[in-house]
Amino acid sequence: MLNMFRKKQPVKKEYDRANQKPVLRCSICTGEQVAGFKNIHTGQWEEVMLIKNEEDLETFKRTYDLKEVAKEY
């Protein structure tokens, strides 16, 4: 019965570390931030989640086991 109220732990996910790098895309005009992965060879962008606050960014880092995320404007 207590499991119903327990906070859900994020599931660890993987990404292609050899071909992708984590990036936080930031809009200069609106300040909107989107976390995702950029292919280092082709520049192709894969959007993962919208970052609304610092908690969302920490969730993204925990989910993909990241220490730092580069910002791109």
Domain locations in the chain as residue ranges: 14-51+69-73
Strands annotated E in 1-73: 20-26, 33-39, 45-51, 70-72
pLDDT in tens, 29-68: 999 999 999 999 999 999 999 999 999 999 999 999 999 9
pLDDT at 48: 96
Instruction: Tell if the pTM clears 0.85, that is, is over it.
Output: no
Question: Are the beta carbons of 39 and 17 closer than 8 angstroms?
Answer: no
- The confidence band for 10, taking pLDDT boundaries of 50, 70 and 90, is low
